[in-house]
Amino acid sequence: MATTVATTTEAPPVLRLDGVSHTYIGQRRRTTVLKNIDYSFRRGTFYTVLGPSGSGKTTLLSLASGLDAPTRGTISFNGEDLTKLGLGRYRNKHAATIFQHYNLLTYMTALQNVTTAMEITGVKPGSGGRRARALELLEQVGLDRHMATRNVMKLSGGQQQRVAITRALACDVDILFADEPTGNLDEDTAQGIIDTFRELAHEQDKCVVVVTHSQRLAAQSDRVLTLRKGKLTE
């Protein structure tokens, strides 16, 4: 009887790092934080990046999210070098980053934060309009119309975090980056955020990359990467 060998063909990477090194050049010394990193990130996958304090996790996130360019090596999105695609275009259309302090516009409501991001990044209004779409997305992360129309400063830390996630989702990006997204949140709220990341990866086929110190968060991701001494290992 013939034996059938199952073969899985992995999708091409959505984001690829090739020989990426990064050195900070100060007045008195140079600090090489990342050393010749090669790695492929794929859609439908939730990644966490662990590593000791100062190991370069935030640096890696800034490069992968297009906030800065590596001093050596190439980062490509769907096979195209980010510097050719344009870092601004990449950040606007394809990648969103949730920072530790959310970077919300504090004088606006949750809803306005989301619709403003949609306008800035050129999201088409669609049949129901941007406002309706934003309300729908806020509802999906557990923020009802009442919360959506409150000033963001009147929301709790976890609720603000959800606004920041919604803002990233509203722009329908391919890759979502987050820097320590569950720090300072209570366990239930943190779990809600982790569940949202898992759904985004598994149900919406996004690539989610989260930098964290939390073992609990890492244990629920699909792939745990560790950054140590400039090297990224799995």
* Beta carbon nearer to ligand ATP, 30 or 84: 30
Single out the residue of 26, 79, 88, 122 in contact with ligand ATP (rule: CB under 6 A): 26
Stretch that binds ligand ATP, among 25-33, 80-88, 170-178, 215-223 (CB under 6 A): 25-33
Positions 29 through 48 that interact with ligand ATP (CB under 6 A): 31, 33
Shortest reach from residue 24's CB to ligand ATP, in Å: 3
Shortest reach from residue 226's CB to ligand ATP, in Å: 11
CA–CA separation, 149 and 132 (whole Å): 12
DSSP string covering 152-219: GGGS-HHHHHHHHHHHHHHTT-SEEEEESTTTT--HHHHHHHHHHHHHHHHHH--EEEEE-S-HHHHH
212 binds ligand ATP (CB under 6 A): no
Single out the residue of 42, 47, 48, 56 in contact with ligand ATP (rule: CB under 6 A): 56
27 binds ligand ATP (CB under 6 A): no
Shortest reach from residue 180's CB to ligand ATP, in Å: 7
Query: Strand locations in 26-151, DSSP E?
Result: 30-41, 45-50, 72-77, 80-81, 95-98
Tokens representing 95 are 């990648």
Residue found by looking up tokens 């990064």 in the block: 22
Residue found by looking up tokens 């209570």 in the block: 186
**Number of chain residues interacting with ligand ATP (CB under 6 A):** 12
Stretch that binds ligand ATP, among 55-63, 84-92, 153-161, 184-192 (CB under 6 A): 55-63
The H-or-E segment that residue 231 falls in is strand 231-233
Candidates 91, 66, 95; CA nearest to 177 is 95
Residues that bind ligand ATP (CB under 6 A): 24, 26, 31, 33, 51, 53-59
